[in-house]
Amino acid sequence: MKKSPASKPLVVGLAGFGTVGGGLARLVAENADLNRQRSGRDIVIKRVLVRNPRKARGVPLPEGAELTTDPAALSDDPQIDVLVELMGGIKHARALIDRALDQGKHIVTANKALLAEEGIALFKKAERKKRILRYEAAVAGAIPIVQVLKESLTGNRIVSLMGILNGTSNYILSEMTTNGLNFNVALKQAQECGYAEADLTLDIDGHDAAHKLILLIRLAYGVHYPYTALSVRGIRGLSAMDICLAREFGYRIKLIGQVRKIPDTGSTAVTRLEAGVFPALLHHHHLLAKVGGVYNAVRVEANASGSLFFHGRGAGGMPTAGAVLSDLLAVARGELANNTGFVRQELPGAVVVPHEEWRSCCYVRLTVEDMPGVLRDLAGCMAVEGISVAQMIQKSAEGRGVPLVCMTHETTTRAMHNALKRMADAGLLMEPAVCYRVL
């Protein structure tokens, strides 16, 4: 670690003054003495980039700071040491960070979408410019999982990582599970509480969690897993019936982001990764099944440390601002750039396990006619694909169709898809089948 001159403050250009930006300004002021004790320097916010300088704001502008609508006022100011990017989005954020790196500035960002989709180019550029690019706040808010994977667990090989990475989806599922709400009512409640993103698809269709998972894969395995190759399925339209039926089997439904190493049958030197975001059934004793509300959690399985569990606030102004400030203090201390956790910033491509090859037990809900021979025909469709049933229950229904729910033994996604297609082609299903993984 380089020694930082105590007399020279770390000068910050802040892009974005919303919930997190305002929280950061507040923490920089409130923790000024502690910041100085931890880094040996003062942290000073010189300029704040906003879209509308006349907008009323709940947090006062940092003392001595200027508002600006010109990105170049941050990127091109020679007195600014570090750009803190909290404005979100990809196009304009990428342009600003690119320009700031060209001008020799360090970067702190919470922009998971940008880093997931275009981060490789930014990491390469930061390496060429010998600049720090830190992003603790981009994944799971206050949970320090980025630094854990980048530093604390570097003596381990990561076997698997799974987590609840989106607080909005978890809030919706928690309300459906605990209070019996249907999906639309729970979603509206999440919006009214201010938990949902402006673009709902980021939350309920799994993309926000997917962006975070891409960053965790890079940190855990030192490979580039393309965002476009990631299997992503959200919770949009998830039925309250499945929440209730899962509970009867002793499970809870959660939106999970998961990556795990799959041994290659041809070569032990190849690390194949199975990764995706999807709703899944977790046994109610599982720690992730107990994570409620807008909280996030990550479970890491490592070859030396074993199982580790991290839990905390995954979003919100102050929790996320605290993570941003921790990155700023690292820059203030003059810590060496360790942007990806690996010496090579140009990471090799991941060897991706195709979605159809994934193996797991499955929860399947079928709506069928209550008539002789249906169970035999359904079982036959599964038997042809080598699928065996572990448990099955039939529920009464007021309509024509009868819900039939089964839990299978371990099978592949391909086999399950083919079995359900056989059932549909044979006219056995009155509604499309519902199928979720069981972890």
pLDDT value of residue 269: 58
pLDDT value of residue 397: 67
342 has binding-site annotation? no
Residue 137 Cα to chain centre, angstroms = 11
Note whether 304 and 394 are same-domain residues.
Answer: no
For residue 302, give Cα distances in angstroms to 160, 167, 277, 299, 307: 7, 25, 21, 10, 6
pLDDT value of residue 3: 47
Domain boundary pick from 98, 121, 138: 138
In a domain, 157, yes or no: yes
Q: What pLDDT, in 10s, does the model give residues 400-425?
A: 789 999 999 999 999 999 999 999 99
pLDDT < 50 stretches in the chain: 1, 3-5
CATH number for position 401 = 3.30.70.260
Q: What does the block give as tokens for 83?
A: 């750009």
Phi and psi for 177 in degrees, rounded to 5?
Answer: -75, -45
In a domain, 51, yes or no: yes
Q: What does the block give as tokens for 134?
A: 């830190």
Note whether 134 and 149 are same-domain residues.
Answer: no
Note whether 157 and 129 are same-domain residues.
Answer: no
pLDDT value of residue 270: 67
197 has binding-site annotation? yes
399 has binding-site annotation? no
pTM of this prediction? 0.93
3-state secondary structure of 156: coil
168 has binding-site annotation? no
pLDDT value of residue 266: 59
Note whether 134 and 181 are same-domain residues.
Answer: no
Note whether 182 and 233 are same-domain residues.
Answer: yes
CATH number for position 78 = 3.40.50.720
3-state secondary structure of 273: strand
Counted domains in the chain: 3
> Which residues are the active-site residues?
212
